Amino acid sequence: MSTITTKDGAEIFYKDWGTGRPVVFSHGWPLTADAWDAQMLFLAQKGFRVIAHDRRGHGRSSQTWTGNDMDTYADDLAALIEHLDLKDAMLVGHSTGGGEVAHYIGRHGTKRVAKAVLICAVPPLMVKTEAHPNGVPMDVFDGIRKSVVEDRSQFYKDLAMPFYSYNRAGAKASQGVIDSFWAQGMLGAISGQYDCIKQFSEVDYTEDLKKFDVPALVLHGDDDQIVPIDEAGRLSAKIIPNATLKVYAGGPHGMCTTMADKVNADLLEFLQS
């Protein structure tokens, strides 16, 4: 397996396929780089170099007790990009990975970045606050923490249903997709995944979004039951300078899997624009 070792000794697993202009993917919670298989295979076959890592505490990367915070996640991404000496990369982040991409740009700038894509991403801020009254109430995230502690395995099986909108009337659920979601989640560390809940819910990425100075594409499904579009994708597209927003009618949170052909086509078009 390909790994890098960070300054605090964590080993970060990554995939690196193909040749050409680099596209770097950051996955959502509680998943792994495998969540990007449909996009990576497609773009590698189109002549691009595709890279995706497992966030620390997730997948095949180190299960660190400390460092499960967005500053460190962004620094880990920077370490990977610098280790591979990537230039003119397009960064793509889904859900929590969108926060990671945003914070990377806010923290490390865009000297190695040409474009950025946020897909059903958590920025600018998920949790409800006085300054963000339309956010998700804190008790929702406390409930997620409770479920992870009490029965993480069953919770991930249950979470897959709204994640892919398989709970909607007439939806045809894929047991394979549900099993993959569960397997990816269970591969990670309960400690790291528990800590990560705060990072996708309570971190305010507004200032990071303001620092985007490269072309940005925001993709979001209007049936996202995990990260509601109005307070996430639509708001991020307003904050990011000159961002383009594309709304997927009926699109679920996990649309990179259930609507892979459309996502792939939009990524390719943006890469080539």
Over residues 130-147, the mean pLDDT reads: 96
Asked if 30 contacts 196 with a C-beta cutoff of 8 angstroms, the reply is yes
How far apart, in whole angstroms, are the C-alpha atoms of residue 199 and residue 196? 5
Q: What is the DSSP string of 25-68?
A: EE--TT--GGGGHHHHHHHHHTT-EEEEEPPTTSTTS---SS--
pLDDT digits (tens, 9 = 90+) for 87-130: 999 999 999 999 999 999 999 999 999 999 999 999 999 999 99
Buried b (16+ CB within 10 A) or exposed e, 113-145: bebbbbbbbbbbbbbbeeebeebbeeeebeebe
**Secondary-structure breakdown of the chain: helix, strand, coil percentages, each rounded to the nearest 5:** 45, 15, 40
Which residues touch 166 (CB under 8 Å, ≥6 apart)?
Answer: 160, 172, 173, 174, 178
pLDDT at 86: 98
Which residues touch 10 (CB under 8 Å, ≥6 apart)?
Answer: 56, 61, 62, 64, 67, 76
Read off the tokens for 196.
């990560």
Residue 185: CATH number of its domain: 3.40.50.1820
Read off the tokens for 144.
């997620």
> Shortest CA distance to 100 belongs to which of 91, 112, 110?
91
Active-site residues, by number, are 95, 224, 253
- Chain centre distance of CA 35: 9
Report the mean per-residue pLDDT for the chain: 98
Torsion from C-alpha of 222, 223, 225, 227, nearest 10 degrees: -20
pLDDT digits (tens, 9 = 90+) for 172-223: 999 999 999 999 999 999 999 999 999 999 999 999 999 999 999 999 999 9
Q: Is the pLDDT of residue 10 over 90?
A: yes
Q: Is the pLDDT of residue 1 over 90?
A: no
Instruction: State if pTM tops 0.85.
Output: yes
How far apart, in whole angstroms, are the C-alpha atoms of residue 93 and residue 132? 23
Q: Is the pLDDT of residue 76 over 90?
A: yes
pLDDT at 176: 98
pLDDT digits (tens, 9 = 90+) for 221-237: 999 999 999 999 999 99
pLDDT band at 66 (very low <50, low <70, confident <90, very high): very high
Q: Is the pLDDT of residue 146 over 90?
A: yes
Domain count, the chain: 1
> Shortest CA distance to 253 belongs to which of 216, 222, 209, 218?
222
Region of 248 (left: φ > 0; alpha: ψ -120 to 50; beta: rest) is: beta
How far apart, in whole angstroms, are the C-alpha atoms of residue 45 and residue 170? 33
Read off the tokens for 263.
């996502």
Domain containing 97: what range? 2-272
Asked if 59 contacts 184 with a C-beta cutoff of 8 angstroms, the reply is yes
